[in-house]
């Protein structure tokens, strides 16, 4: 039995929410060593480090995973904003389920799927905390009518602009600090009996109130000026803390093993399963339940003898998120088309520009992690670099 006492220094999970334009992004930019994942383009006026704006849920998860693999790239990761990230999540769930909207799932199941998918992001962010990286989520606030179960009547309440009974409570439970930023307004009555609003000072609230949710675990005052100095004492300097344990050292990557170069070998369609095998060994027989694959004579050879493929000048807008994923993970069009052909979904000679929107969003983007894995296995067999858009 190992019993420890005392406080344990840890990076912080901070949620900052409030009305639009109050300065949430500027506030988050004052955290130590911030790196922004700007989902809505709200940091253009700030001199901060940022990753490429994610155009899909898969790209957002990939960027967070990349920071997780290289925790020394920043001291604080800022997701700006969580409600726009949730929009990407909803689009992903709908595309994967072949639905036009989240309500089309019926019986509230779509919201459950979104909460489960959003939990994957929170798990990745928790892994960053274990590596000593602070995580800040910004979000917008909106006003709802609220009724206490045991009371009659209702009143206005500020709430997180996320799905009320799913992602909103999940994010608040996940965070160590929930800070509500707002303008402090005083309502006064003049000598004529007229009511007027005065003030407008920006403040942050750190404790629960009937009109908003907030919390902290550092004994902060209930109301503070909306300045980073107000909470700086609650954010530990993890740069001087002991190094956290990571899954794999980022500074010593495993060198890639050279691939024997004998003669260009034609790649049969089941190459996604047999690419890791030496060319001299026959591929294992496919299970009887698998669909019949084309003969080896119909296979495509990924060599420099193949005709290079170039993106057209005009491409459908719905392809842009796919291009962003391809560029981020260094996967060219040839490899994506080969994976689709291996699965029997599209012929290899069909360019991405001819892929329909439903297939792009429902398979290529929604299943990008599996496509990337299969494409990585095919890379040693293809030497044509397709220029990105």
Same domain, 217 and 307: no
Q: What are phi and psi of 7, to 5 degrees?
A: -75, 145
- Within a domain: 110: yes
Same domain, 150 and 19: yes
Domain containing residue 74: CATH number: 3.40.50
Whether this model's pTM surpasses 0.85: no
Structure tokens at 126: 């928790």
DSSP string, 191-215: TTS-EEEEEEEEEEE-S-BTTB--B
- Within a domain: 374: yes
Domain coverage including residue 62: 13-240
Same domain, 196 and 127: yes
Q: Residue 309 has what pLDDT?
A: 39
- Within a domain: 282: no
- Within a domain: 260: no
H-helix or E-strand spanning residue 157 = strand 155-160
Same domain, 329 and 220: no
Same domain, 203 and 331: no
Helix 368-378 to helix 333-342 angle, to the nearest 10 degrees? 100
Same domain, 321 and 229: no
pLDDT in tens, the chain (389 residues): 888 887 778 899 999 999 998 999 999 999 999 999 999 888 888 999 999 999 999 999 999 999 998 878 999 999 998 999 999 999 999 988 888 888 889 888 899 999 999 999 999 999 999 999 999 999 999 988 877 766 666 778 899 999 888 899 999 999 999 999 999 877 777 777 777 766 678 999 999 998 899 999 888 999 999 999 999 988 876 654 444 444 444 444 444 444 443 333 333 333 333 333 433 343 444 444 444 443 333 334 443 333 333 444 456 788 888 888 888 888 888 888 888 888 888 888 778 877 888 888 888 888 888 888 888 888 765 544 444 44
Q: How many domains does the chain have?
A: 2
- Within a domain: 290: no
Same domain, 110 and 222: yes
Q: Which residues contact 65 (CB under 8 A, 6 or more apart)?
A: 124
- Within a domain: 3: no
Structure tokens at 269: 């369609």
CB 291 within 8 A of CB 270: no
Q: Residue 239 has what pLDDT?
A: 57
Same domain, 76 and 169: yes
- Within a domain: 65: yes
Structure tokens at 62: 């990939």
Q: At which residue do the structure tokens 């639905």 appear?
A: 99
**Beta strands 223-225; 76-80: pairing state:** unpaired
Same domain, 317 and 221: no
C-alpha separations of 358 from 57, 98, 99, 292, 355 in Å = 16, 8, 10, 25, 8
CB 35 within 8 A of CB 149: no
Same domain, 46 and 185: yes
CA 144 to chain centre: 27
CA distance 114 to 136: 21
C-alpha separations of 291 from 238, 269, 363 in Å = 53, 12, 19
Same domain, 65 and 203: yes
CA distance 336 to 32: 39
Q: At which residue do the structure tokens 């260094």 appear?
A: 330
CA distance 132 to 74: 10
- Within a domain: 214: yes
CA distance 78 to 236: 16
The full 3-state SS of 49-76, as one line of letters, equals EECCCCCCHHHHHHHHHHHHHCHHHCCE
Structure tokens at 47: 């001199």
């Amino acid at each position: 039995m190992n019993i420890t006492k005392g406080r344990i220094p840890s990076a912080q999970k901070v949620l900052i929410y409030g009305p639009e334009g109050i300065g949430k992004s500027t506030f988050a930019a004052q955290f130590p060593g911030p790196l922004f994942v700007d989902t809505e383009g709200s940091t253009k006026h700030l001199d901060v480090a940022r990753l490429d704006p994610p155009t899909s849920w898969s790209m957002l998860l990939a960027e967070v995973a990349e920071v997780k693999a290289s925790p020394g790239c920043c001291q604080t990761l800022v997701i700006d904003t969580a409600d726009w990230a949730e929009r990407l999540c909803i689009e992903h769930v709908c595309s994967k389920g072949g639905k036009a909207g989240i309500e089309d799932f019926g019986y509230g199941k779509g919201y459950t799927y979104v909460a489960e998918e959003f939990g994957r992001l929170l798990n990745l962010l928790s892994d960053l905390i274990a590596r000593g990286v602070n995580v800040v989520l910004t979000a917008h606030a909106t006003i709802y009518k609220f009724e206490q179960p045991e009371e009659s009547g209702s009143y206005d309440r500020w709430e997180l602009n996320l799905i009320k009974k799913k992602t909103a409570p999940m994010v608040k439970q996940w965070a160590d600090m929930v800070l509500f930023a707002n303008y402090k307004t005083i309502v006064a009555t003049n000598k004529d009996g007229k009511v007027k609003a005065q003030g407008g000072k920006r403040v942050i609230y750190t404790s629960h109130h009937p009109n908003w949710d907030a919390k902290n675990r550092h004994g902060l005052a209930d109301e503070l000026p909306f300045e980073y100095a107000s909470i700086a004492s609650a954010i530990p300097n993890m740069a001087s803390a002991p190094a956290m344990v990571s899954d794999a050292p980022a500074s010593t990557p495993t060198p890639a093993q050279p691939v024997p170069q004998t003669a260009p070998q034609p790649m049969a369609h089941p190459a996604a399963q047999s690419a890791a095998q030496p060319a001299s060994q026959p591929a294992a027989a496919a299970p009887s339940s698998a669909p019949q694959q084309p003969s080896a004579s119909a296979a495509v050879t990924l060599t420099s003898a193949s005709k290079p493929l170039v993106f057209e000048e005009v491409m459908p807008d719905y392809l842009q998120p796919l291009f962003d994923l391809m560029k981020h993970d260094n996967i060219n069009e040839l490899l994506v088309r080969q994976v689709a052909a291996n699965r029997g979904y599209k012929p290899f000679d069909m360019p991405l520009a001819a892929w329909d929107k439903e297939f792009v969003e429902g398979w290529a983007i929604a299943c990008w992690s599996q496509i990337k894995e299969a494409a990585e296995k095919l890379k040693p067999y293809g030497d044509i670099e397709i220029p990105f858009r």
